[in-house]
Amino acid sequence: MRSARRRARELALQGVYGWLYTGEGAAQLLKNLSELEEFEAADHPFLEAELRGTLAESASLRKALEPFVDRKWDEMSPIERAILLIAAWELIHKQEIPYRVTINEAIELGKRFGATDGHKYVNGVLDRLAAVVRAPEVAAPREARPRRSEGRAPATRKKASE
């Protein structure tokens, strides 16, 4: 089951993809998206912020991404371009979302909607972008997660005679 946030990202991807082809504004794209079955299950404020922000800042986002891509922008698949723009906006403007979450979500979008290995390309580009726009977070040591058995009291069984 996909979370409301993931559904919002999927819809934002569809919106940005549509924008790449039609040039329609955010209001029309949101109206079109609202007619989709998935819309009700999405995080609407997040979707609107992500779509409007990505479209409004597409030129600066593209400029931020271009040093990390190995081909001309227009030679890249439209799905990869849309995913990269959305994730770049999120990395830059949604500091409260850990960068690893943003990158993982972009990878999942790439796996679901992109070409066979497009998600690997997206991962590489976003890792390099994150190292610049989230340098302190990327440089910080990763907190170790406790293993499943750690941090829990051992289970005790009652004796049959109790």
In angstroms, rounded to a whole number, what is the distance separating the alpha carbons of residues 97 and 50? 13
Looking at 86-90, 116-120, 125-129, 144-148, which range is the least confident one? 144-148
Integer CA distances (angstroms), 109 to 16, 55, 68, 125, 155, in order: 13, 18, 19, 14, 40
Tens digit of each residue's pLDDT (9 = 90 or more) over 38-77? 899 999 999 999 999 999 999 999 999 999 999 999 999 9
Reported pTM: 0.85
In angstroms, rounded to a whole number, what is the distance separating the alpha carbons of residues 124 and 107? 10
Distant-in-sequence, close-in-space partners of 44: CB < 8 Å, separation ≥ 6: 8
Max alpha carbon distance in the chain (Å)? 75
- The CATH number assigned to the domain with range 4-135 reads 1.10.940.10
Tens digit of each residue's pLDDT (9 = 90 or more) over 82-111? 999 999 999 999 999 999 999 999 999 999
Indicate if the pLDDT at residue 12 is higher than 70: yes
Give pairs for 108-115: CB < 8 Å, separation 24+.
Answer: 108/6, 109/9, 109/10, 109/13, 109/83, 110/79, 110/80, 110/83, 112/10, 113/10, 113/13, 113/79, 113/83, 114/77, 114/79, 114/80, 114/83, 115/77, 115/79, 115/80
Consecutive H or E run containing 16: helix 4-22
